[in-house]
Amino acid sequence: MATLPEEIKAAMQGVIPSHVVTCAADGTPNATAISQVYYVDPEHVALSHQFFNKTVRNVRENPRALLWVISPLTLDSWDLEVEFDHAETSGPVFEAMDMQIEAIASIVGLKGIFKLKSADIYRVASVTRNVGERIPLSDIVEPRERA
Amino acid sequence: MIADFDATRGLTMIPDRVVEVLNGPAIMFVGSRDAGLRPAHTTAVGAVAYEDRQTVTFFVPESRSARLLSNLRDNGRIAFDFGLFSHEAYQLKGVYLSSRPTTDEDLARQEAYRKKLVTAVRQAYPEELARPLVLGLGYHPGIAVTFRVEEVYLQTPGPGAGTKMA
């Protein structure tokens, strides 16, 4: 079990989409973008289960998942190794996620389509801040077309 | 050695629209897994679908390639996800063929890709976030990874997400 650092909360506000990678029992990986990883407590996060998609099916066969999140404040990104623990269909985490999803759906004109089935709770197994993948701000240059 | 490579699987043709999105200003990343079925994530910076419509090469920063290449040499399985800011998204699943350091030709593709992407991201995010978010991601030196596509899935959020297209 690992503990989430305080600064990772900024990466879990849904400003920049996150990524999730899972793996079926037959060894086939699955990769998809998700709008938000929800902070539950220092050792748990939640993902929304709205449709019975491949991510949902995979973690019920093989509980391991990899979450990538990025902070819009610092552009620090983290890899979280997590394990599916259980699904909640009521309670404060479910209610908070349901309200947030309804609000977003309403804003984009899709109210009623993105119905939350459960808040899937994951244990955080490891947290790795990705280092050395970003160019310092002072060194960034606009892309140029090459001949 | 690629443990579960199956040369007898049927050929898959990537649909036109999927190629268009792959060549457009798409956010893209790669899923792989190790021998213990532990998933891994790698951000990609540009990709190209070849004329055979069955083979794709994507580019990853060398600094983030070690785990990906280790996984691919172990089992060869790749999930490649990419999507536009409109949320239109697709996933290609397939098997690893080869990898090599990026060339000048690859770099030219990556420069064109970065230019398209930062233009698109500037329409969704303020400049102080868009510029470092896109242009601040290291891409050189890079590794070009080529894989054969076996399955194509719709990933656009909604009830149809996960539909197999090819």
Q: What is the CATH number of domain B16-154?
A: 2.30.110.10
Q: For position B8, what pLDDT does the model report?
A: 45
Asked whether the bond before B141 is cis by omega within 30 degrees of 0, the reply is yes
Q: Where do the H-state alpha helices sit in A50-136?
A: 54-61, 92-107
Over residues A90-118, the pLDDT tens digits come to: 999 999 999 988 887 777 666 766 789 99
| Amino acid, res. A57 | R
Whether residue B78 contacts residue B72, with contact meaning beta carbons closer than 8 Å, is answered with yes
**Cβ-nearest to A146 among B43, B108, B157:** B108
**Cβ-nearest to B79 among A30, A33, A137:** A30
Q: What percent of chain B has pLDDT over 90?
A: 84
Q: Answer whether residue A141 is part of any domain.
A: no
- Which of A137-141, B73-77, B140-144 is predicted with the least confidence, judged by mean pLDDT? A137-141
Whether residue A120 contacts residue A49, with contact meaning beta carbons closer than 8 Å, is answered with yes
Sorted by where each begins, the domain ranges of chain B are: 16-154
To the nearest whole Å, the CA of A63 is away from the closest chain B CA by: 9
Look at residue B3 and tell me whether its pLDDT is greater than 90.
no
Look at residue B5 and tell me whether its pLDDT is greater than 50.
no
Q: For position A33, what pLDDT does the model report?
A: 93
Q: What tokens were used for A128?
A: 């790795």
Q: What is the CATH number of the domain that holds A104?
A: 2.30.110.10
Tell me which residue range forms the domain holding A10: 6-132
Query: In this predicted complex, what is the ipTM?
Result: 0.92
Distance (Å) of CA A15 to CA A37, A66, A111:
11, 19, 20
Contacts of B61 in chain A (CB under 8 A): 133
Give CA–CA dist B12/A105, Å, rounded. 35
To the nearest whole Å, the CA of B64 is away from the closest chain A CA by: 7
As for how many domains chain A has, the answer is 1
